[in-house]
Chains A and B, each alone.
Chain A
Amino acid sequence: MNELLRVEQLGVVFHAARGRVYAVDGVDLAIAPGEVLGLVGESGSGKSVTLRAIARLLHEEAHITGRVLWQGRDLLTLPARALEQVRGAGIGTIFQEPMAALNPVLSIGLQIDESLRAHTGLDAAGRRARARELLDLVGIADAASRLRQYPHEFSGGMRQRAMIAIALAANPKLLLADEPTTALDVTIQDQILRLLLRLVSELSMAMLLVTHDLGVVASTCDRVAVMYAGRLCETGPTAQVLHAPRHAYTDALLRALPGEGAARARLQPIPGMPPRIDHPSPGCPFAPRCTHAEPRCDRERPAMQDVAPGRASACFAQDRLGVAA
């Protein structure tokens, strides 16, 4: 496969006061140019930490292992200056809460200009024109006056658009999006997802979309990777994974959703509680809650195996699943 970004055996350990937290454990991912890859999981699954590790946005206490290969270079060992060139110019990032990511005391125009100055060779006039162009591109009307405004003068949806404009300033080839629509209302979420999909296709950009919402994955991602307790459960084309999961966790997660089925029927919750990542299990982390678990699941860690063209799963029960409910 022609790859834009390749993540190999990524591991992230935080050294907290109460001990080590294994946030990400042996994750392999690859993103092709122009592809939208969804990274989905519940809270604490390590999906956001994975994204931040790729962009090297984690703080110093995080111990990161593995490789993140970008155009033949390992981002994890890249010196600071070279890394800045990759960030922004090669890889743009947007977050869930634009109010926290934007600088509250700088106008939107200045913040876009900052990004343009760092990553393009444009002169002042060129940057002004480009900033207006970017706001148009992300659907913010009346660009000239909007550029003079501050983040608090924007609505939630407009702030997210402004953050996308900043991320796009240097024409990145990959956009890392961390729950970009989670804080938004459903009609605004719909607008922002459409915007992102349009930009991906118009700018031939790839996107790594981190989300907890399987519905968002279904309608936006080409491929999906499911995470649980810091580990990758399965990867594959979105429709295949969501309609015929090959990992017991994906299967259970899909069954827990309120579906189109019988109204007021009991849902099928996943028993038990999310795992503790400070004491990783030697076996499959999902085993204690899994209805398909066998004795070896507690002891032995299932390896990621190809189960179909373009699909892989780390589950001993992979062949007993795949029968749609």
Chain B
Amino acid sequence: MSGDILSVAGVSKHFVGRRGVLDALRGRPMPVVHALEDVSLAIRRGETLGIVGESGCGKSTLARCLVGLHQPDAGSIAWDPAALGGRPRFRASQMVFQDPFGSLNPRLTVGSALAEVVGVHRLRPKSEIGARVRELLEQVHLPADAAQRYPHEFSGGQRQRIGIARALAAEPLMLIADEPVSALDVSVQAQIVNLFLELQERLALTLVFITHDLRLVRHLTERVAVMYLGRVVEVAETQALFADPRHPYTQGLLKAVPTIAQATRPAGPAITGELPSPLAPPPGCAFHPRCPIAVARCRTERPALLPDPAAPGLARERSAPDAHRVACHLAPQAAATAPA
């Protein structure tokens, strides 16, 4: 097993919102969005880690912290120096965005956009930049003449290939893909998913795949972290998580996903109620207002993300890095009520 490439420890990120004049006169405090609260996570070299959750769970904020687009307010994000191998950390991870069109300069040809990245990071002598651009286009299966064209001349799937090539141009150790295929049609989605799989094999990349699409996570990732209202509530190997979800939120989320195989919706809603405001997250376990099995303790005491004592194989190795971790006071009971 390879070691951790990146350790996220106790990371929090708050955004201060705006208040109206009246609220300011009344002396009300500025509203604060708790986007990330005490998130700890280790990312292993070469793995594909899925981060899932619904809108507002903090998954995109976490992604932005990982690539350094946001500075966390608390906690640390530390690279393994050996893995970095002298690479500056801002180049070690690169982001692939949902809408590559929004992240590509419309006035630059694809070739100049890629050459710019190579040049800025001084990765190749000037004379070799052209060859490197051709190589990058080849890696994402775009024709060589794409270099002379502008982003608007490409279809959605091709643009995402350009976005991936731009990320690869910096020669990163890790790609962080934030909903990279959500805007694409199913038939094109599969092409991009295959590209990620292929690049990962060829370039030994670590991939953090952020999405709300649980079907994709199940197919593509090796480990999954489930987030709810700024916190990681469950982390496990993908297979274990889908076979035996421990957190009531994860259970509900899996139940809510419509699948082809299932002819009818299972009885009863997967999760009742709506996401509470991240401006005022509930005390205790943030999921308790919607949780079907919450008890008094859940309303006051926040559960820590701990290896699940009921998960198989844990007696052996409680601190094992691949332990199934869950933040729920009632994890054993939750398992008992899990859908078969």
Binding site for B on A (CB under 8 A): 42-43, 155, 157-158, 185-191, 193-194, 197, 212-216, 218-220, 238-239, 242, 252-254, 256-260, 263-270, 273-274, 289
- Separation of A157 and B222 alpha carbons in the complex (Å): 32
Q: What mask results when residues 40 to 53 of chain B are scored 1 for a CB within 8 Å of chain A, else 0?
A: 00000000100000
Determine, out of B14-22, B250-258, B327-335, the stretch whose residues face the partner at the interface.
Answer: B250-258
Report yes or no: B259 in contact with A273, Cβ–Cβ below 8 A.
no
Which residue of the partner chain A has the closest CB to B54? A185
**Residue B318 is within 8 A (CB to CB) of chain A in the complex:** no
Apart from the given pairs A258-B215, A289-B187, 13 other A-B contacts in the complex at a CB distance below 8 Å: A185-B275, A186-B54, A186-B253, A186-B256, A190-B256, A214-B186, A256-B187, A263-B239, A266-B194, A266-B197, A270-B187, A274-B155, A274-B188
Option from B187, B194, B260, B274 in Cβ contact (under 8 Å) with A188: B274
- Separation of A257 and B212 alpha carbons in the complex (Å): 15
Highest count of chain B CB atoms <10 Å: which of A188, A215, A258: A258
- Separation of A238 and B260 alpha carbons in the complex (Å): 10
Which residues of chain B are near A193, meaning CB under 8 Å? 258, 265
- Separation of A157 and B275 alpha carbons in the complex (Å): 10
Contact A269/B212 with A188-B274, A218-B262, A258-B219 known, Cβ cut-off 8 Å = no
A164 to chain B, nearest CB (A): 16
Closest 5 CB pairs of A and B: A215-B258, A258-B219, A269-B190, A270-B187, A267-B190
Report yes or no: B269 in contact with A191, Cβ–Cβ below 8 A.
yes
> Which residues in chain B, 252-284, are within 8 Å of chain A measured between CB atoms?
252-253, 255-265, 269-272, 274-275
Which residue of the partner chain A has the closest CB to B191? A269
Contact A218/B261 with A253-B187, A267-B219 known, Cβ cut-off 8 Å = yes
Which residues of chain A are near B215, meaning CB under 8 Å? 215, 257-258
Report yes or no: B185 in contact with A274, Cβ–Cβ below 8 A.
yes
Q: What mask results when residues 3 to 28 of chain B are scored 1 for a CB within 8 Å of chain A, else 0?
A: 00000000000000000000000000
Which residues of chain B are near A190, meaning CB under 8 Å? 255-256, 258, 265, 269-271
Which residue of the partner chain A has the closest CB to B216? A258
**Residue B157 is within 8 A (CB to CB) of chain A in the complex:** yes
- Separation of A197 and B263 alpha carbons in the complex (Å): 13
Binding site for A on B (CB under 8 A): 48, 54-55, 155, 157, 185-191, 193-194, 197, 212, 214-216, 218-220, 222, 238-239, 252-253, 255-265, 269-272, 274-275
Highest count of chain A CB atoms <10 Å: which of B188, B193, B215, B258: B258
Report yes or no: A256 in contact with B186, Cβ–Cβ below 8 A.
yes
A319 to chain B, nearest CB (A): 23
* Interchain Cβ contacts under 8 Å between A and B, 5 examples: A212-B186, A213-B258, A219-B258, A219-B263, A242-B260
Report yes or no: B265 in contact with A42, Cβ–Cβ below 8 A.
no
Report yes or no: B187 in contact with A186, Cβ–Cβ below 8 A.
no
Which residues of chain B are near A239, meaning CB under 8 Å? 263
Report yes or no: B272 in contact with A256, Cβ–Cβ below 8 A.
no
Report yes or no: A187 in contact with B252, Cβ–Cβ below 8 A.
yes
Report yes or no: A253 in contact with B186, Cβ–Cβ below 8 A.
yes
Report yes or no: A263 in contact with B238, Cβ–Cβ below 8 A.
yes
Report yes or no: B260 in contact with A215, Cβ–Cβ below 8 A.
yes
